[in-house]
Chain A
Amino acid sequence: QQPVQSPQAVILREGEDAVINCSSSKALYSVHWYRQKHGEAPVFLMILLKGGEQKGHEKISASFNEKKQQSSLYLTASQLSYSGTYFCGTNVGGGADGLTFGKGTHLIIQP
């Protein structure tokens, strides 16, 4: 089942902060965050694993609440380059069986 992302869209001024949420009805092994610009491929931002391990972009932080099966991506002091669509992808079993993606959150950063 597809994870639910919120909000669907956000418009910010440069320098403002944003939080994007991802919620699943299934017990998760990992949550992956990607950013995609129009006409381009998704680009890896963060991976959060069951048990607390995480790795990814230095300037972006995220959390994973294993009890609630929820993850949040925190974008602080946003820059114009942060604009794009953010996707969370979830993996249930920890195997190599691919990710189930949410429908995305559109983020627009204005000068």
Chain B
Amino acid sequence: NAGVTQTPKFQVLKTGQSMTLQCAQDMNHNSMYWYRQDPGMGLRLIYYSASEGTTDKGEVPNGYNVSRLNKREFSLRLESAAPSQTSVYFCASSRLRDTQYFGPGTRLTVL
């Protein structure tokens, strides 16, 4: 099992450009999550999907959209990137009330 995979691993964007971060899990988990991690801030929840067909906002959703494509895949889209969105983005998945397993992360720089 690959666990949670994310693509791309690194990305550099110019202000105003758009991009989609991809996440897939092969553990048959119902719930999936997107976090961002900034120095000294810990991880902050952007959006989550409790089950296929549902998505909800987390702590810092502004500037992002998500799509739960199917049970395996959960994507994060930046429509118009801003320098404040420079961060490391982690996708995670879990069964209900169980531990979350994290992907390797995407390191995004917005110039």
Which residues on A are within 8 Å of B, measured CB to CB?
Answer: 2, 29-30, 32, 34, 40-44, 47, 49, 56, 87, 89, 91, 94-104
Contacts and interface: CB of A to CB of B under 8 A. Distances in A.
A25 B62 CA distance: 25
Report the interface size class on chain B.
20 to 34
Given A47-B98, A49-B97, A94-B97, A100 B104 contact: no
A98 B45 contact: yes
B42 A98 contact: no
Interface of B: 30-31, 33, 35, 40-45, 48, 50-51, 56, 58-59, 90, 94, 96-105
Given A32-B99, A32-B100, A100-B45, 6 more contacts: A40-B105, A41-B104, A44-B100, A47-B98, A49-B97, A101-B42
Given A32-B100, A47-B98, A95 B50 contact: yes
B58 A98 contact: yes
A103 B41 contact: yes
